[in-house]
Structure 1
Amino acid sequence: MKLPIFLLGLLLSAISLSAQDPAVAKLEKDIPVLMNEAIIPGLAAALIKDGKLVWTGSYGLSNSSTGKPVTAATVFEAASLSKVVAAYGVLKLVDEGRLNLDQPLTKYLGNNYEVEDERVRLITARMVLSHSGGYPNWRPEGGKLTILFQPGERFRYSGEGFVMLSKVAELITGTEFNTYIKKAVFEPLGMTSSSFNWEPPFDSLLVYRHDWLGKPSRRWEGHGVNAAASLRTTIGDYSKFLIALMDGKGLKPATWQAMFSPQVKVNDSSQVSWGLGVGLENTPTGKYAWHWGDQGDSKCYFTADLEKKNAILYFTNSYNGLSISDEMLKDAIGGQHPAVNWLAYTKFDPAAPALLTDIEKRGAAVALRTYNEKGKGLTEAHINMIGYLLLRQKKVDDAIAVLELNAADFPRSGNVWDSLAEAWMEKGNSALAIEYYQKSLTLDPQNNNAVVQLKKLQGK
């Protein structure tokens, strides 16, 4: 078959590029294997070298039930990679003298942001951008936003802080946040397929999320802007942003320097910290900026070498998308990346779906007996996933059996007891649900979900 000239040119270009850059050859060889092993339906990736986009790849399916392929035009959820774009836009307001990083945000809002804690008056843009404002990630469903510790005291990841900051940006600019970001970020950088709000083209271009078994779960079609999480974009668009970020394009040098300077350590390690809106790694192999995105059945990641201006970026439409981050980094830019260990995402284990299949066929009692006889081996996270999937299937008794096994194997995990409490609440046993939520809260005093559920159960 004779190829059209433009297709032949693209093919020759890809072959030539692969031959020139070993990293491209590794990615092209390994990505399909990694996707198959981890049951990742769709993925788009980009490699940046010396501040230039040298390669993008589109793999697999946008929707595994329809067979629609991923292409360069496919729109993915940026999830928490949204925060980096939001931070960049906010820092432009700092450069313009319209926002002071260290001025309490309540001074701009003129109120306490409906937070019943006077410490809200201490929270600044710097604290929000470095996740040290004291907020939880999200307020409890139906509950009020609280402050968990003295603002500025330590690191705790929070999407709520970015939402608050976006409200400040709207007051400063006099416009809705997505409109401001479009003017300040998307248009200058040529990001023509990106938005924090739902856009009509997304009807046909946005991927569907997929669970850890590769089955479509849903597509996030929500309207409204969330500065922490609602960006939808393409691999090409976000690559443009990442290149601009590494170059410092659009920011004053001092502001760019502050963005990539450690503001707070995430733990006792000196290698992983947070700058202004972006994670940082300081290792013997280099200084890196990084961020991850996780919206359940949709995950993504980037790491950028700030000195060499090399970066890897990838989006997936899968629950398992971050299980391959270590391999993607090794292929693309190498080096040491302690952030991967800090995030602690579990490697995909084919034994997990095998156990679920056995439970569905033979029931939990028989399948778990066999699992125990074989010496177990699955992680807390894998067993928890199986329990929740059974709950979704309304197989409550099987779910309880699985989650009770998890509680027996990992008795010091607050999350395990929280999940078991939820299963017993689904079963209608309020007494056990209360007991296990209280146990979860004892092990993890910052478990806001347990607090909310206990109020509901004890109120009954």
Structure 2
Amino acid sequence: MKRYITLPKIIVTVFVITIILSCSEKPKTIPESNLFNTEIDTYLSDLIKADQIPGMAVAVIQKGKVIHKKNYGLGNIEHNVPVSDSTLFRVYSVSKLITSVAVFQLIEKGKLSLEDSISKYIDDLPQSWQDITIAHLLTHSSGLPEYKEETQGMSDKELLLKIFDDTLQFEKGNRFKYNQTNFWFLKRIIEKVTQQKFHDYCIENQFSEVKKQAIYASNSLLAIPNRTPKYKFDKKNNAYEITTHKAGERSHAGNGLNVTLNALIKWNAQLDQNILITEKTKTQMMTAYEYQGKNTPFGYSWGIYGPEDKQYYGFAGGGVGAFMKFIDKDITIIILSNGFKNRPIISNAITYISGVVDSSLVRKDRMLNEEVRLAFLLNTYDEALKTYQQKKRKNPEINFERALNEMGYYFLSINKTNNAIALFEMNTKENPKSANAYDSLGEAYFLAGNNTLALTSYKKSVKLNPKNENAQKWIEVIEKNR
């Protein structure tokens, strides 16, 4: 039976109180002025209220100094426990960054090479897998079949035999395709080379000074002191429930790290100071891999994001956490949270915070679109619409398609179809050449039961983009049932 945690009517008050309380939880050795940025705090407070994020811990580091560090909200909703410096967060796929560093540490020691075939470390692989390399695993270009987490009860040998029957998804090195099997194999390789459990090796070589603040566990059901659960919101019951995602050690390399904000700050300092790996190795680790097919900007398990002059590196995980570095500006942003009602857009948060910290990183379009999104989530529809119209008048050069589309779907999700249609209609008027805007409007009309207008919108979308398979599918459905 699922255990629901009902949202109290005073949840906003609780958030405000816990935010105030968490402000006092600052290390005594660092002056408050060096740890707090008012503009970042205002944005994050709005983000937490808008997306109803139970708890969060955020740090921003610039040129080796922490310029913003704060705990927000609740680590445990049921018992009203605030997030603190002791709170452990599951970081999900951010764990892959730790795995990548572990691999490159072993490369520096001469125990591994990017060019090593995985068959050197994993026995009895199919012939077609023999020349897949460690580089292919790190860059998600192996083409290996994906293993399913429901197979956790199987032994490694049993699971290998099961996936051996699957064919490769594509030729190695051809393209990027995110795949957890890559990191299961990296875990096995690290364990064979080091003769240690994967988690022991990573803690010993990357978190040795903060061992109690970094734990590997991919099982959400384990009772771990100070760990906040991940909450997901059940809209039917108007309540949060604790996720029951259960995975074993096989998943550790891909999503198993549980860590405090302070431990990641320390890890980042060691990375920046070339303690974990050398500067040369670090550069290689974050260099974009050259895929044979379509070029996807992605390093050796480090994502590469943003326009070329505002590029940043790192990874996000589970919709709740992110570790991102603006290498050229020497800025690092760490976001840890434990759930949401309205899924926050992590890339928007990174973009917004970076623009606050360094004016050269400002992406005005993305920041204004985020402000519009928050306006609709924090205010009444009419109030938010006025805010949007004011921003539109002041910034006629900015395209707000992203925010209008996002909020249209938000209103569809809460069954306010008329508001959704109004936003989608506005979007098509302001972006008459957008196939996506007309596709979204078609969906809203269809859900409202107006098949005639839905068909017109979908046909307009296909005219603008003949490759729009979604619109083509719904045109066929509507015409078949007329």
Normalised by the size of structure 2, how large is the TM-score? Answer: 0.64
Tell me how far 1:220 sits from its aligned partner. Answer: 4.8
Correspondence list, 1:417-456, <5 A: none
Does residue 108 of structure 1 match 2:121? yes
Distance 2:225 2:122 in 1: 35
Tell me how far 1:215 sits from its aligned partner. Answer: 4.0
Distance 1:347 1:148 in 2: 38
Could you give the per-residue CA deviations for residues 301-328 of structure 1, whole angstroms, max 9, x where no partner exists?
2221224422111012225233542323
Q: Tell me the residue number matched to 1:391.
A: none
Q: Tell me the residue number matched to 2:207.
A: 186
Tell me how far 1:15 sits from its aligned partner. Answer: 4.6
Does residue 128 of structure 1 match 2:137? yes
Q: 1:129 to 1:12 in 2, by over 3 A?
A: closer
Distance 1:414 1:137 in 2: 26
Tell me how far 1:111 sits from its aligned partner. Answer: 1.9
1:276 pairs with one of 285, 300, 312: 300
Q: Tell me the residue number matched to 1:442.
A: none
Q: Tell me the residue number matched to 2:345.
A: 322
Q: 1:86 to 1:285 in 2, by over 3 A?
A: same
Given that residues 210 and 318 in structure 1 are in contact (C-alpha distance below 8 angstroms), is that contact kept between their aligned partners in structure 2?
Answer: yes
Q: Tell me the residue number matched to 1:303.
A: 324
1:79 pairs with one of 73, 88, 92: 92
Distance 1:75 1:140 in 2: 23
Does residue 207 of structure 1 match 2:229? yes
Distance 2:472 2:25 in 1: 58
Given that residues 312 and 333 in structure 1 are in contact (C-alpha distance below 8 angstroms), is that contact kept between their aligned partners in structure 2?
Answer: no
Q: Tell me the residue number matched to 2:216.
A: 196
Does residue 230 of structure 1 match 2:247? no
Q: 1:157 to 1:413 in 2, by over 3 A?
A: farther
Given that residues 44 and 316 in structure 1 are in contact (C-alpha distance below 8 angstroms), is that contact kept between their aligned partners in structure 2?
Answer: yes
Q: 1:172 to 1:9 in 2, by over 3 A?
A: closer
Could you give the per-residue CA deviations for residues 2-60 of structure 1, whole angstroms, max 9, x where no partner exists?
xxxxx699699665336xx7xx2221222111211222222110111212334321111
Q: Tell me the residue number matched to 2:34.
A: 17
Tell me how far 1:136 sits from its aligned partner. Answer: 5.6
Given that residues 263 and 273 in structure 1 are in contact (C-alpha distance below 8 angstroms), is that contact kept between their aligned partners in structure 2?
Answer: yes
Q: Tell me the residue number matched to 1:362.
A: none
Aligned residue identity for 1:240? K
Q: 1:265 to 1:77 in 2, by over 3 A?
A: farther
Q: Tell me the residue number matched to 1:249.
A: 275
Cα RMSD (Å) of the superposition? 4.6
**Does the residue aligned with 1:277 lie in a helix, a strand or coil?**
coil
Q: Tell me the residue number matched to 1:28.
A: 41
Tell me how far 1:251 sits from its aligned partner. Answer: 1.6
Q: Tell me the residue number matched to 1:363.
A: none
Count of residue pairs brought into register by the alignment:
378
Aligned residue identity for 2:194? T
Normalised by the size of structure 1, how large is the TM-score? Answer: 0.67
Q: Tell me the residue number matched to 2:17.
A: none
- Give the stretch that moved more between structures: 176-185 or 136-145: 136-145
Distance 1:180 1:215 in 2: 39
Does residue 68 of structure 1 match 2:68? no
Q: Percent identity?
A: 19
Q: 1:138 to 1:374 in 2, by over 3 A?
A: farther
Aligned residue identity for 1:229? N
Q: Tell me the residue number matched to 2:57.
A: 44
- Give the stretch that moved more between structures: 44-53 or 134-143: 134-143
Could you give the per-residue CA deviations for residues 133-190 of structure 1, whole angstroms, max 9, x where no partner exists?
1236655966735421111112222222011111111111222211221222221x53
Distance 1:284 1:176 in 2: 39
Could you give the per-residue CA deviations for residues 74-97 of structure 1, whole angstroms, max 9, x where no partner exists?
111111100000111121111121
Distance 2:470 2:128 in 1: 28
Given that residues 76 and 315 in structure 1 are in contact (C-alpha distance below 8 angstroms), is that contact kept between their aligned partners in structure 2?
Answer: yes
Given that residues 291 and 301 in structure 1 are in contact (C-alpha distance below 8 angstroms), is that contact kept between their aligned partners in structure 2?
Answer: yes
Distance 1:97 1:11 in 2: 42
Q: Tell me the residue number matched to 2:196.
A: 175
Q: Which runs of 5+ in 1 are unaligned?
A: 1-6, 359-366, 388-398, 421-434, 437-460
